[in-house]
Structure 1
Amino acid sequence: MAALAAVMPAAAQTSRGDGIEGRVDRLEREMRAVQRKVFPGGAGQTIEPQIIAPQQLQAPPGQPATSAVADLNARVSAVESQLSQMTGQIEQGQYRLRQLEEAFNAYRRATDARLKVLEAGAAPAEAEEPVTGAVRPGPARPAVGGPATPTVNVDRPKSEDPAEDGYIYGYRLWQAKQYDKAIPELRAVVQKYPKHRRASYSQNLLGRTLLDQGKPALAATAFFESYQKMPNGERAPDSLYYLAQALVKMKKPASEVCKVYDELTQVYGDRLSEAMKMDVATGRSASKCK
């Protein structure tokens, strides 16, 4: 009986240790799953748990082995804390994106009627004439009852990369201020080649073209879609910056403009050029952002 009484506490302690080991393994698997979602490419970006398994020391005879359970409890607490911190960071980023999405869904609903009117009254684009130069002045066409208005012939590039050619051609049309022709060319690049690097360029330039046309509401939608659909695109930061400019043109509250500037600096702060940082600082000052 005395021997049985001595064995039972040790067996109970082993059972507790196995249960805590199972919790540790489960939590560590969950944290690795979160890491794979946050850093799908790996590339050395994963966060190793700052937990060191205790060394198994042989307890002297006659002393109860209570340190193993205490160490396992410490490991469980550390893993739970780290997993909670990573989950909180993910939820914070998703919340910021949801805020912008909700705001611009409201803008879309408000401008749907205007879009239909503009599309119904849009004139078909003129057929392009073959030219040899990139951008060169063409013959003047006199307007009825007014002075002659010079036109510009724009060269369409031809290479083995149609997405590159489409963007360059749209850019040249934008440079020549032929906005009505530039818009369908830029939209075509985004629709046909959404995975090409020039899709981000074309969507951003589409917004700038609409902004130059005096259509800030349509431009805001284009800029927001550039950020929403291509957040890793090379022109995503520029689109957020010009989105703020479009909101200013729309006379939106300063709080909405500042929210866009905040998103820009939080998401792309390390990618902004010095010139962009100065422009953002000027914009924040003009809108009295805190």
Structure 2
Amino acid sequence: MRKNLMTLILLTGIVCVGAPALGQSAIEGRVDRLEREMRAVQRKVFPGGNGQYFPPDITPADPKVQAPGVPATSAISDLTARVSAVESQLTALTGQSEQHQYKLQQLEEAFNAYKRTTDARLKALEDSAASTTAPLAATPATPATPAPGTAGGATPRVGAPLARPAAATPTPTPKPATAAPSSAAKPAPVDPERAARIAAIEKPATADPADDLYVYGFRLWQAKLYPEAEAPLKQVVAKYPTHRRASWAQNLLGRSYLDQGKPSLASHAFYDNYKNFPEGERAPDSLFYLAAALKRLGKTSADVCKVYDELLDVYGNRISATMRADVAQNRAAEKCK
């Protein structure tokens, strides 16, 4: 009984001693929690504080300083970026080149269309001016004295370059016996009305001087100022023989002679155009009008037919349907075989 009492007393003492220890441990845990919360509040209220109240729980890591000369990326990454930049620039340049090429193509198409339209208008004006006069092939023949040593003049050859037409020998005009020789030749007086007509013709001024001269000569010819039209037309042939307008100018020069009633000079101009510019745009027209000039010179139908044969043999696939019909009509009138 006594032994049990002693055991109970000892247990009671142990409990009494352990109870304060347990309570102290719980208080310390609560205090630690409050301190942590206070530090959290401190970090919110005093961001970047100097730590004079409580030291922070977590401090930022020290930034790593990159050593000088060390690349940010590897060599392969750097080369890849540079190649990508070059590819993008090349793509941009390719796009610009394609745009410029497209614009250049548009300009070429517009210029070709303008050239075709201009040529068609000029040819239509020439044809309309020719239609106001009598048909050339139907003009009554004017006999001319053949050159000495020739029988009826030169004869064109089919399939070979035509021979140059022989010039007609002009009939000398007797001078009056009472005419006194003049001491000095006086220039012919200029007709004020004609001078005004010449001044009214506009001279084109573009970047193509050969075309400007031809257009100016054409305008003079269209205004029936034939002698004045000869000078610019001859300049085109003399100064710009490789220009496409040289064939046009030489042909129009023959037309001007023909309109002035000078078939001999016209035949030479047409022949020169065919001989010197066989690939010219107006070479077929010159052969067509050469036949008309020969008929005015009084050449035989055989000579005229040979010129038409030459025209069809050399340029049969290049002449227009209108010219082909005119050639057929004139050949029928001349009874060509």
With over 3 angstroms needed to count, the CA separation of the structure-2 counterparts of 1:188 and 1:285, relative to structure 1, is same
User: How do 1:1-290 and structure 2 match up within 5 A?
Assistant: 96-98=159-161, 100-101=162-163, 104=164, 107-108=166-167, 110=168, 141=193, 151=197, 153-290=200-337
Are the counterparts in 2 of residues 164 and 198 from structure 1 also a CA contact under 8 Å? yes
Are the counterparts in 1 of residues 158 and 306 from structure 2 also a CA contact under 8 Å? no
Give the counterpart letter for 1:96 in structure 2: G
Tell me the alpha carbon deviations over residues 173-228 of structure 1, each in whole angstroms, 9 at most, x when there is no partner.
00000001001110110000000000000000000000000000100000000000
Give the counterpart letter for 1:178 in structure 2: L
How far apart are the structure 1 equivalents of 2:158 and 2:329? 27
With over 3 angstroms needed to count, the CA separation of the structure-2 counterparts of 1:287 and 1:95, relative to structure 1, is closer
Residue 272 of structure 1: how far off its partner (Å): 1.0
TM norm structure 2: 0.46
Q: How many residues align structurally?
A: 167
Residue 96 of structure 1: how far off its partner (Å): 3.3
Tell me the alpha carbon deviations over residues 18-64 of structure 1, each in whole angstroms, 9 at most, x when there is no partner.
xxxxxxxxxxxxxxxxxxxxxxxxxxxxxxxxxxxxxxxxxxxxxxx
Q: Which runs of 5+ in 2 are unaligned?
A: 1-156, 173-184
Are the counterparts in 2 of residues 224 and 240 from structure 1 also a CA contact under 8 Å? yes
With over 3 angstroms needed to count, the CA separation of the structure-2 counterparts of 1:195 and 1:150, relative to structure 1, is closer
Residue 165 of structure 1: how far off its partner (Å): 0.2
Are the counterparts in 2 of residues 111 and 217 from structure 1 also a CA contact under 8 Å? no
Are the counterparts in 1 of residues 220 and 229 from structure 2 also a CA contact under 8 Å? yes
Question: Rg: which structure is higher?
Answer: 2
Tell me the alpha carbon deviations over residues 68-105 of structure 1, each in whole angstroms, 9 at most, x when there is no partner.
xxxxxxxxxxxxxxxxxxxxxxxxxx98325x22xx25
Give the counterpart letter for 1:155 in structure 2: E
How far apart are the structure 2 equivalents of 1:125 and 1:192? 30
Runs of 4+ in 1 over 6 A off after TM superposition: 123-126
With over 3 angstroms needed to count, the CA separation of the structure-2 counterparts of 1:170 and 1:236, relative to structure 1, is same
How far apart are the structure 2 equivalents of 1:200 and 1:113? 32
How far apart are the structure 1 equivalents of 2:276 and 2:267? 14
Give the counterpart letter for 2:159 in structure 1: R
Are the counterparts in 2 of residues 186 and 206 from structure 1 also a CA contact under 8 Å? yes
How far apart are the structure 1 equivalents of 2:248 and 2:263? 18
SS at match of 1:200: helix
Q: How many percent identity over aligned positions?
A: 50
With over 3 angstroms needed to count, the CA separation of the structure-2 counterparts of 1:165 and 1:277, relative to structure 1, is same
Tell me the alpha carbon deviations over residues 250-285 of structure 1, each in whole angstroms, 9 at most, x when there is no partner.
121000000000000000000011001011011111
